[in-house]
Amino acid sequence: MSSRRSNLTRLVSALAVASLALSACSSASGSSTPGSSSGSDSSVAGSAAGSSAPALSGTLKVDAAASLKKTFDKLSAEFEKEHPGVKVIASYDGSAVLATQLIGGAPVDVFASADDKNMTKVTDQKLITSKPVEFATNRLQIAVAPGNPKKITGLQSLTASDLAVDLCAVAQPCGAAARTALAAAGVSVKPVSQESSVTAVLTKVESGDADAGLVYRTDVLGAGGKVTGLDFPEAAKAVNHYPIAALDAAPNAAAAKAFIALVTGAQGRKVLASAGFGAPGA
């Protein structure tokens, strides 16, 4: 009897130990190390945060200097590819023209100017209170017919009486830069016309209506051989700095912020550099 009682006691003890072991294993499998718990929680939190960000949509209106047309057309297409819910509508003209339109109440999301002066006109009106970001620079060249048939060698050549020279209007960034460069060279030129945008000057040279015109080097590169570009040392005295900013009353503020990030980011720098623009501050 005593032997049976002893065996029963041992059996009960063994079952109790087994039960405790199973309980411990179950507890261990239900928990994780501090590191893995943190990672899992972070992953879930990150996923939740990402899913809560609304996709961009609607129309994004961009006003940009005429010299930015080809690059901004490329960047607009890239932006629409990244954000299929957004349609970019870009308008290009002389920066002074665009600034006047903005001050007049044009509903625009983003303004990209070819100089600080015309951006300042807009910020002075409190239409933009954030700090504009410089994203590119540009320099002038003398645009002439392919092969330079008039044998122009520099700004001094533009004073020849038989030469038809076209310039941007002085209110435009390209016009202000042209006058700065001419003054640095001690040269006075009477243009046959004063255009509202740099692309208008380029068109006059391409068509033969002008023998020469002062345009940006990016315009010469973009002309695809229709003109020849001549460098001149005084261009270093008249570098244009390009700022970009979102309007305070931007109808699509979220898309405006994302577009500016694209322009000022790696992809934007790549596209701008391939078109001949200099780096910010250059």
- Cα–Cα distance list, 268 to 154, 156, 162, 261, 280 (Å): 33, 36, 42, 8, 12
Task: State both tokens at 50.
Answer: 């990402």
Contacts with 245 (C-beta within 8 Å, 6 or more apart), sequence order:
110, 111, 119, 122, 123, 128, 130, 131, 132, 133, 260
Q: Which residue has the tokens 């006047």?
A: 100
One-letter amino acid of 6: S
Write out the binding residues.
Answer: 67, 95, 198, 216
Question: Cα torsion at 69, 73, 74, 80 (round to 10°)?
Answer: 160
DSSP code at position 278? B
29, burial (CB in 10 Å: exposed 0-12, middle 13-18, buried 19+): exposed
The token pair at 241 is 């700095």
- Local structure of residue 277 (DSSP, 8 states): P
Say how far apart CA 47 and CA 42 lie, in whole Å: 8
CA angle 129, 130, 135 (to 5 degrees): 130
Annotated binding-site positions for molybdate: 67, 95, 198, 216
- State the CB neighbour count (10 A cutoff) for residue 1: 5
